[in-house]
Each structure stands twice: as structure tokens, then as C-alpha cells.
Chain A
């Protein structure tokens, strides 16, 4: 456990109750964006089931043998299955099916955590169906995915689905300020960059990446030649595209006269206000669309990144 679980209280409650009442289903599907804490919670769930501490309600002591084994990743009844290369292959699923029929070695259950199940090819996914429907009594399958739409409806229908949600930026920033004593201004920037994932924000904090909130140059730049320089910057930090969208969002909000508390980059409001008159609603909306298009191009196709980013910058500078 690198990080404590923050948030997801409702899910934790639910899992605790499930274990307490002994109504552990055979197949779970954890759905939520990347880095939101699905895997952490899945491990926590495993510990809830394994923990040998004798208490009234199920807890995770973290000190008993089972808990420590889970923490160090060598519990014989907990298996983590990750995609081999880019895909979760049918061979891995067959191997799982071969093992799943055996009784657990130490604990009362055998737990299999399958990450990124949206990266199963159709053969593998279909192969898993029958196991999901009626898993052998002592096994629990926990499927994790960030893209539930990519799964077959037949898979979804066989699982208990738990939705993980990213923490709202403001809430995350507050937590960073309260518990980790981050400077408010930096906390906001961190929270936005982390996109609602506590884990990401903390990693970034540990790495000591200086994050300062600054109005992106592209919002103010008028020289179209600058597009090439800016594209270069974006290429070096591809994560900043997501952040850029939030700036345009703020512009849009200011332009529409939205209430102040909804603005994300609250520390740069005054600066943004000076830029707003140069933008029309349509232009901002088109800018957002352009950024999304480019993002999707970069992530889903093997496009020429430099070219795509240059085109984007030129469009934004129009």
C-alpha cells in the first residue's frame, strides 16, 4: 500500500458490509478512471476477506500474517492478472480457469484481480463469461476497468458493478491543503493536473515537480508563428493538454458570467478577465473541441504527434 485510501467511503462501507454479512459474490467489476484507486481498493477488499484479526466487524489490521502477505504481494490465494503486453490474452484467461477450480491454500477464498479488463480481446472476454457466471464457490473475481463501454453487455450483466468516481478538483485541493499542508495555490494546480486522482497528486508531490499556476501562453499569443514553438512545448509535456482544456473552460465560464466559485483557476481570474473580450463563445467551444480531437488523435491513433500538435496550435491561434 503506497497510499492510504482517501475517499471512496461509500464503496468501502459497502465492501465491509458485504464481508460482514458473508454475502461475497463471485464476480465484481470496478469501474472508474485510471489512477482513481481501483486497485488499491481491490487489495483492501482482499485484506478484508483474508484478515485473521478476530473482531466483531471486519477490518484490516495490517499486522496479521495474511494482511502482511497481501501487502508484500506474496499471498498464495491472491493473484493479480495484468495484460501481457498490450492485451489480456485468452491464454491468461485459460490459465485462470484451470486454477480457479482448486481450493484456496490458506484463506477462505481465492481472489483474482484482473486489471484493465477492457484490454481483453473478444475471444478472451467470451472465454471468461462462463466462469464469471458461476464461479467456483471459493473464488472471487475482481475485474478492474477504466472503460466499461468497451466490455460486452454480457460481461457487465454477470458482475456486481461498483462505480469509482474521480474526486472533484476542489475537494482534492482541500485534502492536499488540510492533510499534506500544500500551499493552496499549488494544491489547486496539483489537483487539476492529477485529474481527481489522489494517487497521482501525491506522486507528483513526492517527486517535487514544481507546479505553478500560470495562464498558458497560447491563450494570449497572437503571432501564428509561435504555434510551432508552443507545439514543441506540448509535445514535451503531453499531460498539459488536459490542463489546457480547463483554462478554456474558465474562459468560457467567465465569458458567460458564471458564478465565481465554479472557476477552477481561481487565482488567475483577474488575468483571465483581461483576455476574455478577445474570445467569442463559439471560438472557445471550438478550441475545446480542437483540443479534444487532438488528444484523441494522439491517444488512439499513431499519428505524427508534432504535426497534430502544430495543427492544433495553429487552429487555437486563429
Chain B
């Protein structure tokens, strides 16, 4: 006999061996004892919880002649098969003529069922009962199910059908109503651990409780998963240690995971990213690691809601005092957001792959996650703000009042992120500029931030003189849309010609920007500052912006000429008429 894996070798052979599912074994045993055996059973439930096993035991139990031992005066009955008689042995080794185990997934057509209907009529060869075990029954075709209906309703007295499936929903109602329905449940962790301990002991595998607990938790209540994992780890020939198991199933070492959790909780981005990198180097399965993170923060949230919820916490009981301490320091709100982002990442990993990158992005996102406030509070503050607007009787013009204290406390950001970069929403929300001009209050539900007081110069400074443009040019520049920033060289200052014409130097490679539309955008912004209409001209300057374009020189010169040509072409009156007529733009000049 060749090697059998643990799950096969330790398949229970009688009812008392079966782990869990007492509600089923008790019922079946009582049925056998009282000789009220049904003619059709439907076993359904998750994988690895004992469906096929119990079906086989039932087949043996009803056929075993040794079940009833006659003494001189009385007959003693048990519900268990003896596992020694000929019938039991034949059934155990799948040799019996009268116990037919069908793989419905491989033979799913109507012809199989027609054959079955022919054979059902014949009486059993040796055993008292003829038993059909139809495994993976959900895969039978509709026709096959329907062909079975009449037989299933009134089979010959010597026939018992047992169907087993993982997908109850796929079994037609007409089938399940003709069967006795038994739902198999996920097994409790304690029972799986107990079973694993027994197996380990009998197989001479030395494994302590912690290891078995880890294996059990990984198997999600399915005994076969747990047994297979034990097999895998023990076949690797290593000592059964927590580390060996973690390595086999791709869990990161618990100390690194702990570090990662702390980094998230404490907002230590660098530490988090480094830890993640180390986990990667260890060969951790990052989606497993993500699951663990979610589980951990779920526990923390439970404890943060109420420390009496510790019953439902999944982490080991010994960790609870430490978790409680952690939970106190974090708000439920933030924990909820952390969980939400992690779950989202989980989904993204499943959809797009790139686990490392996705997790890194999540870490960065988590790092800039603020404590936030409950929605009701935010709404309250907003409506207070609204009232202030109303009472001040402000029209929707550029006079936005200095931010009220309430808004600023909402923007209680601990550290201004993106220091030295752009105001965040500018380039992603085109409506932003408009909103700001109209003085609409803006809600930033994700990233509250302080708005520096001087970002509203028109309030604090009033109108300015166009002549002073060079002095406040930088300020104006910061309000221009993204695309201008590359175009306008550092240090180059516009010149003011006459009363209202401004010449803005522009690096020659970007001279294509000088369209009427763009001019208008700049003019509008300037108009806000100086309070009168301004005419804008772009002038090609020879200063090439060092920061952006200097890298690929040779290409640049080529492009420059074509760009220049384009600008020249745009001035051509005929072309202009054509452009206006067709609302076109110049794409290429030759």
C-alpha cells in the first residue's frame, strides 16, 4: 500500500470518530437504532467537513451484520459499523458491489442516470441494502436531475441514495424536497485542534499547541485543509515550529508583522516601508499578510468601541491587555478608515496584482490619514459656516471671509504634507479654481489641511498695481494651472508695456502655449489681482528651464525649430481664419 496523506489515512471510520457535526451523527444513529432509515439523504456544507466520510459510514452501518449482537436472551444493538466484517471491509476499500460511489461531476449527463435507473431495480448482490453515494451532486445536469426525480421519490425498498454537495443552491428544489436535508457546518477551532493533536500523537509528529493553533486558524474551520497543512509541514521534515509553518504558508514572521502594525498605528512611514521590504525579502505572501493586518485592526476596533467586546477578538487571548492599551490610543473613526483602505487594497491586489506596490501605496495613504471626525460633527460645522455666510449677507464674489476657527480646527492636520509641492486639489479638480473664486466653502472629507493665511492675497492685500507685477509675479504664477509651470522659466519676470499689456517670457519649447485661451486664463487671474483687464503676450525667452528640459538636448533643438515654425504659422492671417472657421488647432507644421 503506498503512502496516504493524513487526511485520507485519518478519515473517520465510525460515527464516534467524526469531528463535530453532532447534530447529524446523533440523528443518523437514532435512525439506525430505530430502523427508520430514510431512502434519500442530501448532505451539504463547506469542503472538508465530513460529507463523504459520513456517507460512507452510513453505508457501512446499515449493511453491517455485526451491528446487532444476539445474546442468549436479548439482542444488543449499536449504531456503529464494526469495520471488521466482510461488508465493512469491502465498503472501506471501495470494492463492494452494493455501495456505488458515483462522481457526479465526471458523469453528469442523463445517460448516467438512465443506467442508474436500470440498475436500481436489481436487488443487492450481498448486502442488505444497495446504496448510491452521489458525490458532487451539484454538477448533474438539469436533465439528469429530472430523470432522477421519480426514482428518488419512490425507490425500491432496498435502495438508499446519499447525495453530497458543496453547493446547495444548485440542487433543484424538487430534488431537495425528496431528500432528508443535512447541513454540515464549519468546525470549531477547538475540535480541529483536538483532532490534530490526536493525529500528531499517533503519527509521532511533535507539535506543540501554538503550532496547531496556527494551522487551525489558517484552515478556516475545514478539517481537511488543516490536515493537509499538517501533512505539508511535517513532510518538509523540519521541526514543527511556528517559523516553519509561517514559512510554508507564506506568513511573514510575527515579529516583522508586529513592526508593520506598529508603524501603521504610529504613522512611521519609513519604518513601515522598510518592514514591508523585509517581509518581501523573506518571501512573504503579501495578501496573507494583508489579511492579518485587517484582522488585527478589526480586533483593535472592537476593543476601541468597547473593551467588553474582548470575547469576539480573534487574536490570542494573551494579547488582549496589550491590544486594549493600543485601542485606547486610537479612535474608532481612524481604525475604521484604516480597515477600509486595507480592504480596498486587498480587492485591488486581487484585481490587478502587484501586491507589493499596492501595499506600499496603502501604507503611504494610511500615513497621511488624519484622525478625522464623525460625519455628524462635520455636517454641524458646515451648517454653522453656512449660517455665518448667510448672516454676513455675502454675495458669491471673491470676498471669502478669513477662515473661521471652526474650519481650521477641522483642518487640524498634524503635519502639513506635501511641503513644497502644490496645493493638492489644484491639478486634479478643474472646478477648484472656480469654486475658490466664487468663495464656495469647500469640503475636504479625506484630507483636511490648514490653508495658509496668505493664500488669499486678494483679501489681505486688496488690489495691486500692475506696475508692481515683477514683485508679486511668483504669487500669480502659483495660481496658474499646472501646464504653465513647466513653460515659465524660473527667475524670468514679465515686463509691463504701457498701461495694460504684459509680456511674459516663456521657454521657447513651450511657446505653443500662447493661444488665446491660455492668454485669457492668465489675464483673468491677473485681473483679480489688479482689478482691471490686462492684455497678455507670451514672448519666447532663450533661457531654457534648467529643471525640466535640460536633459535631452539634441532632441530639444529639433523640436524647438518645429515649435517656432508653429508659432510663426499661427500668426498667418489666412491660417487664423481657417482655424477659426473649423475651430481647429495646429497639430504639426512642415
Contact = CB atoms under 8 A, between A and B. Distances in A.
Nearest to A146: B353
B177 interface: no
Interface in A199-258: 215, 220, 222-225, 242, 245-246, 249, 252-253, 255-258
Interface string B217-247: 0000010110010011001110000000001
Contacts of B460: none
A84 to B, nearest CB: 18
Contacts of B320: none
A160 B232 contact: yes
A318 B428 contact: yes
Contacts of B549: 220
B389 interface: no
Interface string B264-290: 000001100110010011010100000
Given A129-B136, A163-B249, A280-B427, A25 B352 contact: no
B106 interface: yes
A292 B427 contact: no
Contacts of B52: 133
B3 A24 contact: yes
B167 to A, nearest CB: 9
A123 B138 CA distance: 10
B250 interface: yes
Majority secondary structure, A binding face:
helix
A52 to B, nearest CB: 19
18 contacts: A21-B235, A22-B3, A23-B231, A26-B5, A33-B353, A94-B106, A127-B103, A127-B106, A129-B135, A154-B166, A222-B483, A222-B487, A249-B361, A258-B273, A277-B421, A281-B417, A318-B427, A318-B428
Interface in A120-144: 123, 126-130, 133-134, 137-138
Contacts of B357: 245-246, 249, 288
B428 to A, nearest CB: 6
Contact of A285 (B351, B354, B361): B361
Interface string A23-45: 11110000001000000000000
Interface string B372-414: 0000000000000000000000000000000000000000000
Nearest to A259: B270
B296 interface: no
A163 B285 contact: yes
B277 A262 contact: yes
Nearest to B286: A165
Contact of B418 (A156, A220, A280): A280
Nearest to A295: B352
A157 B428 contact: no
Interface stretch (B22-30, B71-79, B362-370, B434-442): B362-370
A162 B425 CA distance: 46
A153 interface: yes
B352 A292 contact: yes
Interface residues of B, number: 75
A277 B547 CA distance: 10
B274 A123 contact: no
Interface in B106-137: 106, 108, 135-136
Given A249-B360, A280-B428, 15 more contacts: A17-B237, A25-B235, A33-B353, A130-B106, A130-B136, A137-B1, A157-B228, A160-B5, A249-B357, A252-B360, A276-B421, A277-B422, A278-B422, A280-B424, A296-B351
A285 B365 contact: yes
Q: Sorted from nearest, which 10 A-B pairs have the closest CB atoms?
A: A126-B105, A17-B237, A130-B103, A137-B2, A14-B236, A292-B352, A154-B47, A157-B47, A126-B139, A127-B106
B281 A171 contact: yes
Nearest to B365: A285
A161 B427 contact: no
Contacts of A2: none
B340 interface: no
Interface string A141-181: 00000000100011011111111010010010000000000
A54 interface: no
Contacts of B249: 163
A21 B237 contact: yes
A223 B587 CA distance: 11
A282 B587 contact: no
A160 B228 contact: yes
B108 A271 contact: no
A53 interface: no
Given A14-B235, A157-B224, A258 B269 contact: yes
A225 to B, nearest CB: 7
Residue in A10, A129, A279 whose Cβ sees the most chain B Cβ within 10 Å: A129
Contacts of B281: 168, 171
Interface in B304-356: 348, 350-354
Which of B105, B139, B232 has the most chain A CB atoms closer than 10 A to its own CB?
A: B105
A20 interface: yes
A286 interface: yes
Contacts of A225: 587
A157 B222 contact: yes
A79 interface: no
B421 A255 contact: yes
Contacts of B256: none
A258 B224 CA distance: 44
A18 interface: yes
A149 to B, nearest CB: 6
Contact of B424 (A17, A126, A282): A282
A138 B420 CA distance: 68
B16 interface: no
